Structure 1
Amino acid sequence: MKTMKTLSGVLLLSLMLADATLGDIQKRIIGGKDCNDKERLYHVRIEWLNGQGFHYQCGGSLISDQWVLTAAHCRPTENVIKKHQFVPHVYVVLGKHPGSGHVKGPVKIEATDTHVHPDQHDIMLLKLPESAKENTITPVNPPDCLTTPAKKRKTEDSGKTSELKLGDTVQIAGYGGTQADSDGNRVDVSTTLKCAEYEVVSCYNINIQQSIKKQHIFCTKRSKVDTCFGDSGGGVVFDGDQLYGVHQGGFLIACSSPGIVMDVCKYKDWIWKTTHIPTWEIKP
């Protein structure tokens, strides 16, 4: 397999979002399995540089050879930068999965532009300075927002919708905490990319911040499977390769409450107008 070209650089930050502790909203996979070597190659790690070296922060998805989709809260605020005393530079790292057999060391790509949703919703686009076509990574496919995703259903629904149905199975991936202790707190750290399947569930009666309720979200949960700190921004896919969500976060106690996901279909028009990626254009 061809070794990917290393592109080094820095993602310059604009610190616009409200302050929040990193533990409030970022999560990692618990109860999942190792992703196989042929899936989730588009998954990226987002790291910041502090005095002790790299510190892992978020996940993201390569949606074209020049664009990454992630969560807006993955960009540290000024207060967080001062508290943790790290250089306000963030690196987008490709090729961590499936590991050293895929590339030699981290592949760092400088994002020259940062685009947060104009209404400050928790979704963000990062533009790379040059094409990543020379890499061996294939971008994730966009969602089919004009028809009901019914490939894995026993019966096909009539009509058109941009939403997943309750009970649909989606997949999320990430690095980090993979176990919970006796009190339900997340522990341990994984060096391999973990994949886990979730069911789409109702967000009704879930204790969600008012600012998040005003955004376009859906919720996921599965018994004994959860996410933990670090997986925020990672892609939530349906049918293996269609990006229907960006993982926003959840709760501090493992497996206790549904996770919150930004509904990509509701933001597809903004993504298209920002990136002009042909496959993301909404056509009648």
Structure 2
Amino acid sequence: MDICSVSHRNQLILITALLFCLSYLFGCGTPTFKPNTNRVVNGEDARPHSWPWQISLQVKHGSRFHHTCGGTLIGPRWVLTAGHCIWPGDVYRVVFGEHDMSQQEGTEQIRDVLRIVVHPNWDIDHVGDGNDLALLKLDKSPIMNDNVGLACLPEAGEIPAHGAPCYISGWGNLYTHGPMPDKLQQALLPVVEYSVCSRSDWWGINVKRTMICAGGDTVSGCNGDSGGPLNCMGQDGKWYVQGVTSFVSSRTCNEVKKPTVFTRTSAFIKWIDDTMLHY
């Protein structure tokens, strides 16, 4: 059948079916190298390639590229990251299969960004309003292998339970104003439900229902983790990107009652699906 000859509605049905087939073909949320989830309390080096959907978003300065944010591979040519990671006019690339930034390991794959779609309601001057999301369409899909894979997207509206053991991953600063690590880090961040996180002595009105809080004690995200995933295991044993790292306390990355705040992925499934279908 010539896809150009069918109605727009049927085109969308065909494309949706194709995306479903691709995600089934590649699988999602099932890393070859299982993450170490036994003893992670404070951040530590992640097991190499155990978060195969984790990407390094790099921005061009002069003739070189530098890590600026994290992100998550959610489709063969689509990366989910934070809106505040994107600045008009900057040139970006995406690196897959990365673990140790200090050396070439032979597992890296580099792709150019063909199109950037920032959520239309994101406003850098009003971070507390939420909508801190962007989708990056790649020039071509990375090769899926043991080191590069897809994360699963949650069902629309799904909210992880209070205390659910989720993990942040990224190359962000090890502590406030501290160094950035060479190796990918991970840390256990238990989910803090909205009714707790929105208390006046926690984040108060700064946190919205379209956000998800996690951590809030001695472990948190930090600069450079932005845009990366909050990885939560589903009942099916697969890993889902339940959040996109958005903001931490401006005073210090690790502050009691100031959990890391993520854009809640499940609140934006329709926008994500529509964007991937129409671009």
Structure 2 length-normalised TM: 0.69
Asked whether the equivalents of residues 41 and 97 of structure 1 are also in contact (C-alpha less than 8 Å), the reply is no
Choose 235-244 or 45-54, whichever is displaced more. Answer: 45-54
Shift of 1:98: 6.1
- State how 1:224-263 maps to structure 2 within 5 Å: 224-239=218-233, 241-252=239-250, 253-256=252-255, 257-263=258-264
Q: In the alignment, which residue of structure 1 is the partner of 2:165?
A: 169
Asked whether the equivalents of residues 48 and 54 of structure 1 are also in contact (C-alpha less than 8 Å), the reply is yes
Asked whether the equivalents of residues 31 and 178 of structure 1 are also in contact (C-alpha less than 8 Å), the reply is no
Q: Does 1:63 align with 2:74?
A: yes
Asked whether the equivalents of residues 96 and 142 of structure 2 are also in contact (C-alpha less than 8 Å), the reply is no
| Cα displacement string for residues 79-104 of structure 1 (whole angstroms, at most 9, x for unaligned residues) | xxxxxxxxx21111112126768526
Q: Does 1:122 align with 2:132?
A: yes
Q: In the alignment, which residue of structure 1 is the partner of 2:183?
A: 192
Q: How many percent identity over aligned positions?
A: 26
Asked whether the equivalents of residues 176 and 191 of structure 1 are also in contact (C-alpha less than 8 Å), the reply is no
Q: In the alignment, which residue of structure 2 is the partner of 1:266?
A: 267
Q: Does 1:103 align with 2:106?
A: yes
**In structure 1, what is the Cα distance between the partners aligned to 2:62 and 2:139?**
26
Shift of 1:48: 1.1
Shift of 1:114: 1.2
Aligned residue type for 2:42: G
- The counterpart of 1:37, out of the listed 45, 48, 68, is 48
**SS state at 1:63 partner:** strand
| Cα displacement string for residues 18-56 of structure 1 (whole angstroms, at most 9, x for unaligned residues) | xxxxxxxxxxxx931111124111111111111373332
Q: Does 1:221 align with 2:215?
A: yes
**In structure 1, what is the Cα distance between the partners aligned to 2:277 and 2:87?**
27
Distance 1:108 1:196, change over 3 A: same
**SS state at 1:224 partner:** coil
Distance 1:189 1:134, change over 3 A: closer
Q: Does 1:94 align with 2:88?
A: no
Aligned residue type for 1:172: I
Asked whether the equivalents of residues 172 and 224 of structure 2 are also in contact (C-alpha less than 8 Å), the reply is yes
Shift of 1:76: 2.1
**SS state at 1:112 partner:** strand
Shift of 1:135: 5.5
- What are the ranges of 5 or more consecutive residues in structure 2 without an aligned counterpart? 1-40, 123-130
- What are the ranges of 5 or more consecutive residues in structure 1 without an aligned counterpart? 1-29, 79-87, 146-160, 180-184, 278-284
Choose 67-76 or 221-230, whichever is displaced more. Answer: 221-230
Aligned residue type for 1:235: P
Shift of 1:251: 1.5
Aligned residue type for 2:69: C
**SS state at 2:71 partner:** strand
**In structure 1, what is the Cα distance between the partners aligned to 2:150 and 2:62?**
33
Shift of 1:231: 0.3
Structure 1 length-normalised TM: 0.68
Q: In the alignment, which residue of structure 2 is the partner of 1:18?
A: none
**SS state at 1:269 partner:** helix
Q: In the alignment, which residue of structure 2 is the partner of 1:143?
A: 154
**In structure 1, what is the Cα distance between the partners aligned to 2:246 and 2:213?**
10
